[in-house]
Structure 1
Amino acid sequence: MKTLIIAILAISLYVAISELSAKRKAESLCNSFSIGDKADNLLEIAINAGARKSGIYLEKNGSSQTIYAAFTGYYPGSDFICGIKTKNGIVIAQGLCTRTS
């Protein structure tokens, strides 16, 4: 019985740490940019920050574009996403959102 409780606590701790790690990575990426910064090499920066390669996508809307970089927590579908909006190569907005399926 004691072993079962320890196993459940260990798994719970692992899940919590995985979720917090993904959230911190997404926050760190978003916070590394300020409005007015140059938006060079955003894809490479996101990959180097630990974003999933398959979780990075670009949305174009006229002259502006937004890059979304997903960092997965414990299970697939538990994503923390940093969105960075640019126009003419300059960061005009950034923020963090989550998606849990």
Structure 2
Amino acid sequence: MSDSLAEAAARLEAAVERLARAAASMPRVAPAPAGVPVEEVEALSARLEATIARLRAALPEGSQVLAEEGLGEDGMGEEAGFDEAGLPEDEGGRSGPAGPNLG
């Protein structure tokens, strides 16, 4: 190796070593978690629970509306036509959204 090439390689190695030391001394920051923040999910859940409670309070016990929608006392829709999450099932027994890319 020529002297100028050896000097350039030595400078490069020294620069990489300085960068490695600088990177090691920097404080580590945890990356933000992907997805929806837990606080937002909890707030939405509480809001939905309150809405369901208001609906139940507004409808008389044994209401035809509740029966037609498949919502029993627990609101989970365990009657025919609804899955355990309260989502309507299609004719094939599947629940949730259906479409060209979803089912």
* TM-score in terms of structure 2 length: 0.31
Larger Rg: 1 or 2?
2
Which structure has the higher relative contact order (CA within 8 Å, separation 6+)?
Answer: 1
Which has more strand, going by share of residues? 1
Which has more helix, going by share of residues? 2
